[in-house]
Chains A and B, each alone.
Chain A
Amino acid sequence: GAGVSQSPRYKVAKRGQDVALRCDPISGHVSLFWYQQALGQGPEFLTYFQNEAQLDKSGLPSDRFFAERPEGSVSTLKIQRTQQEDSAVYLCASSFQEGFQRTEAFFGQGTRLTVV
């Protein structure tokens, strides 16, 4: 596709429910990132993949959060036993690795998760 695609756009989950958020990056983009954006704040880093390898997961807030990218393309962010504090917009970004200086990130529309 022409851009980064995320689904669903909106998700309402009951507290304790598991959710899965999908990201389809720009074709050919090696790097994929997940960010979490709380209301009125800038995005916060969650995790980073290069191809299928998860190189950095230091931003995942708890072991309830899990991300995968098994074939180096589509990625899924899974949140188990959702809590109200998980309510946020989850943004996915991808980039074509051209050397770190020239690497430009392109973001999807995000998934707005509301836990009730």
Chain B
Amino acid sequence: KQEVTQIPAALSVPEGENLVLNCSFTDSAIYNLQWFRQDPGKGLTSLLLIQSSQREQTSGRLNASLDKSSGRSTLYIAASQPGDSATYLCAVRRIGNKLVFGAGTILRVKS
């Protein structure tokens, strides 16, 4: 059974700091991995999608990497801003087309 773990569970950093969020998964038989952002009381916003054949994807200040063989992905956020405060979720797409999610990392960026 695929399990997804996100570390840390919560993170508080001062504005301007670079930070890394971690995601690990137990079964490397995945099609892709997606990072999402969730604001309180809201749905999920897709940030980045990495196909299983890719190593990384970049969008603005965000960079996500994927090491499928070791079952790890990281989300790097450069020059963090208070507006980045949210819960960040990673999810892997496995056989059967369903997404399996981690519990998320709650990020707070202090001004």
* A and B: bona fide binding partners: yes
Contact residues of A with B, CB < 8 Å? Answer: 4, 6, 31, 33, 35, 40-45, 48, 55-56, 59, 91, 93, 100-110, 112
Task: Please pick, from B34, B42, B91, B96, the residue contacting A109 in the complex, using a CB distance under 8 A.
Answer: B42
> Do A43 and B101 contact each other (CB < 8 Å), given the known contacts A100-B32, A101-B32?
yes
Do A42 and B32 contact each other (CB < 8 Å), given the known contacts A101-B53, A107-B43, A110-B43? no
Closest CB pairs A-B (n = 3): A42-B101, A100-B31, A107-B44
Q: How far is the CA of A6 from the CA of B89 in the complex (A)?
A: 21
| B residues lining the A interface (CB < 8 Å) | 4, 31-32, 34, 36, 41-46, 49, 51-53, 89, 91, 93, 96-104
Assess whether A42 is in contact with B104, with CB atoms less than 8 Å apart.
Answer: yes
Alpha-carbon gap, A77 to B36, bound state (A): 23
Chain B residues near A33: list those with CB within 8 A. Answer: 98-99
- Checking B44, B53, B99 against A45 with a beta-carbon cut-off of 8 angstroms, the contacting residue is B99
